[in-house]
Chain A
Amino acid sequence: MNATSWLGRLKAGLTKTSSQIGGGIADIFRKRRLDDAAIQELEDLLITSDLGLDAAARLVGNLKKTRFGKEVSDQEVRAALATDIADILSPIAIPLEIDVARKPHVVLVVGVNGSGKTTTIGKFARLYKAQGLDVMLAAGDTFRAAAVEQLKIWGERTGCPVISGKAEGDAAGLAYEALQQATSRGADVLLIDTAGRLHNKADLMAGLEKINRVLKKLDESAPHDCLLVLDATIGQNAHNQVEAFRDIVSVSGLVLTKVDGSSKGGVLVALSERFGLPVHAIGVGEGAEDLQPFEAGAYARSLMGLD
């Protein structure tokens, strides 16, 4: 993946986002003294980007400490905020490393309904396939109508075999079988799809825990990664989601999807401070190539309407 395509795509994806928040900041700080009213407006803007009250207050607090009472241009404010946000995010911008010695490296993909799990798996499949790895997919969403068909289409698009069982079958059983098959085939990566579930439904979460447990029967270290897929349009509920999924299946990393929409996914900043979970990738479109590694600096600058 070359740098221009990353920047170009992210920029295209974030154009609306940045023009909105960027425009807002430009209004506030066109040659203006950074006083209490300006600080309040700035904080409100960050709140409208879903950063949450605490994160927003802390970020403007920083700004206040260093620049209060000074004449500042909007560029300066944006750059300062982008730097602070990048500082928060850069420790968690970690790509998903596949250990080819594991054969297979098992990745379990979880999340609430409609967050974009199946699409994300299709994109990862393309990415690893392009790197020359042998990738297998497991259609573990046995609940939603046509979810298996959806993953099969992704399998065809990317040339990866898809393990599937019958509709409404046992997802844990399927995961077990998929791991067996991937092992005997000597596949490098096994991506397991799961049914979307709300994190506050104890019985559904128990089903997820079962998949985890069953995989460990075959390979004590599996799943090697557990990705929680988060929709960028989500608000503060993201905190509850991360917490609940982390407690049940020890989530190892996040993928933020639909970042090409008008939503900012700003809650990520607060999530980063609270959980410190790596963000492995972001989804910026419906195509197979619309998955990008998460780059803190570029993301923060785009979020602030710079570049």
Chain B
Amino acid sequence: MFDSLTGRLSDVFDRLRKRGALSEADVDAALRDVRVALLEADVALSVVRDFIAKAKADAMGENVLRSVTPGQMVIKVVNDALIEMLGGEAEELNMMAVPPVGIMLVGLQGSGKTTTAAKIGLRLQTRDRKKVMMASLDTQRPAAQEQLKILGEQAEVATLPVIPGQGPVDIAKRALEAARLGGYDVVLYDTAGRLSIDEALMGEMSQIRTAVDPHETLLVADAMTGQDAVNVAERFHETAGLTGIVLTRVDGDGRGGAALSMRAVTGCPIKLIGVGEKLDELEEFHPERIANRILGMGDVVSLVEKAAETIDQEEAEALAKKIQKGQFDLEDMSKQLQQMRKMGGLSGLMDMLPGAGKMKDQMAKANIDERMIGQQEAIISSMTKKERSRPKLIHASRKRRIAAGSGTTVQDVNKLLKQFQTMSKVMKRMSKMGKKGMMRQGLQGLMPGMSNSPF
């Protein structure tokens, strides 16, 4: 989501790096660009002002201007200020309370509360082994209660039975009672979306809070929110006493300025981020990693973690053995493609790699996208087992059959085979490097003509 901001800032920083000594005017000019970049990323103006003031004070310090590489130091100052603004350490949901621990979700209409409720429910139940009950207090939007019920069934998380005509405060009380009696560890309250200026509904929210006294009150907010993010966050914080923020649609291409704004005005940590439509696509928020992403330094930590999560250890070892024997075949290539997809696809991976921000544009220009992975998988699955283990068998008529079966052209099949050859050649060469190196090679093999890429 931070792509464009990243692009802008790296231009600014490239200019700074080239400079030797810096004057106050140089710093001012650079910070003016940073200001524009932040505003274009929808960071609230008041927050931008504070940020620039702080960054300038730090940057004008003697040890910066007199250092050997003042440009580098200014970049560091901006980076540090950014991390600070995003909240330093990662903070998890606080479960340290007498069960059932109440978690209330609040926010504007359409910010993603109900989906987030189900995601949190699923996460607490599977990851933290908590017994979770969800209750929809949304009596405003048609079929909202039905929506949570269906999501509960999908996630296998219990939901409070719906009693038509019951008001939000009563539902909340009933949920708490039911959770107590049923021995639940957590009770999630999904409230109706409301405007921050709707006095009546804001009052109702505060009544709910008083009635059930939730341990966590989370503001669910869209990552694409504009300047108003500060007002919304402030109003909800005043009325509901927020303990944290959940940022949704982080998988969009919004520049994410709202994250900075809301964190800054409420002082509440961003605890979780929604990164997809599926119920398991909820992640914890790591300020330092996101700050690095913004500044174009990549997020290698996330990449490694993701790899560890998704790669099947045994499968990887089996593959490594095959490669050492020089037996890498199309079946293995197909598995690698699947793995890449599991890790968030090409773009998901690119986001986490240092300096990849600019490469993404190149890739877009070269027509390399997610569809290509799917297409290649389709081609391989249109082959017979024999063909997959002995690609040399694949001659003209077989190619035509494969192309027809996968809805591609013979050229596409040729391209894949060529890529496979290159890959297996490289595989042989790096068989000594083990599985980590291999995984990366798989990525590069997909990018013809880009072998000079920075990783």
Contact = CB atoms under 8 A, between A and B. Distances in A.
Given A146-B143, A199-B253, A286-B141, A50 B195 contact: no
A100 interface: no
Interface residues of A, number: 46
Contact of B36 (A53, A143, A202, A264): A53
Contacts of B151: 145
A76 interface: no
Nearest to A229: B110
B147 A146 contact: yes
Contacts, number: 142
Nearest to B235: A262
Nearest to A235: B226
Given A260-B195, A261-B197, A286-B140, A47 B45 contact: yes
B232 interface: yes
Interface of B: 36, 39-42, 44-46, 108-112, 140-144, 146-151, 154, 195-197, 222, 224-229, 231-232, 235, 249, 251-255, 257-258, 277, 369-371
Interface in A247-269: 258, 260-264, 267
A297 B149 CA distance: 45
Contact of A233 (B36, B146, B147, B222): B222
A144 B151 CA distance: 9
B252 A48 contact: no
Interface in A98-153: 112-116, 119, 143-147, 149-150, 152-153
Given A200-B252, A261-B196, A112 B224 contact: yes
Question: Which of B197, B229, B255 gathers the greatest number of chain A CB atoms within 10 Å?
Answer: B197
B228 A264 contact: yes
A49 B371 contact: no
Nearest to B196: A262
Contacts of A237: 42, 224, 226, 252-255
B108 A258 contact: yes
B141 to A, nearest CB: 7
Contacts of A52: 40
A263 B232 CA distance: 9
B370 A48 contact: no
B234 to A, nearest CB: 10
B277 A143 contact: yes
Contacts of A258: 108-110, 195
Interface string A235-249: 111001000000000
B226 to A, nearest CB: 3
